[in-house]
Amino acid sequence: MKKIITLAVVTALSSLVAISPANAQESKSSGVSVRAGLFFPSATNASNVGKNWFGFGLEYKLGDLNMGAQKGSNASYSVSIDMFSKGDFRNAPLLLNYISRTENIYYKAGAGVSFLKYPIGGGTESKTDFGYQLAIGYDFNKGNMPYFAEVVWFGSSKSEVNGLALMGGVRF
């Protein structure tokens, strides 16, 4: 399980390194977003470990979707990985996302796999299961490095690691 998460993070960081030289030669965004924030678990046994958990994530825009969008709006798709953990609980969703934008506001829905860890009996169980997210965000387009804030519901088939996240980040 740890090898899979490590591989995903190394792949994402390698993408950042590969994209950086291209980004220096042109002003177009590389499509990489880095975010961090607080996660508030919805299950009582998880929130007993901590009312809020630190979380972070990476997202890479894969492309734009031309679906007859109205003027001032567009759609795209991305891949993301996030990590939230505290004590014996962990949720690390690896998701394919659909993003719809209208000016500075965006909506996101994603589905994929979650790498879960949670207490069971006297120990812990780790498993890979269905994961998803629903989000609403706002882009602040000031300066050379655009930043954003979003509210995200992270869910999985294991309710103990579901919850709401308040995230902020930057786009490269």
The CATH number covering residue 68 comes to 2.40.160.20
pLDDT of residue 20: 42
Q: Quick check: 110 and 95 in contact, CB under 8 A?
A: yes
Which residues form the domain of 113? Answer: 2-171
pLDDT of residue 153: 98
**Phi and psi dihedrals of 9, rounded to 5?**
-70, -45
5-15 core/surface letters (b: 16 or more CB in 10 A; e: else): eeebeeebeeb
Q: Quick check: 138 and 108 in contact, CB under 8 A?
A: no
Instruction: List C-alpha distances in Å: 19 to 30, 52, 60, 107, 159.
Output: 6, 33, 11, 25, 37
pTM, rounded to two decimals: 0.79
Count: domains in the chain = 1
CA dihedral over 170, 131, 129, 31, signed as positive or negative: negative
pLDDT of residue 72: 67
Tokens 């207490």: give the residue. Answer: 119
Q: Give the 3-state secondary structure of residue 67.
A: coil
**Paired tokens of 34:** 């880095």
| Predicted confidence pLDDT, tens digits, the chain (172 residues) | 455 444 444 444 444 444 444 444 445 678 999 999 999 999 999 999 999 999 999 999 999 997 665 666 899 999 999 999 999 999 999 999 999 999 899 999 999 999 999 998 889 999 999 999 999 999 997 777 789 999 999 999 888 899 999 999 999 8
Helix locations, 70-128, DSSP H:
none
Single out the residue of 78, 134, 92 nearest to residue 109, CA to CA: 134
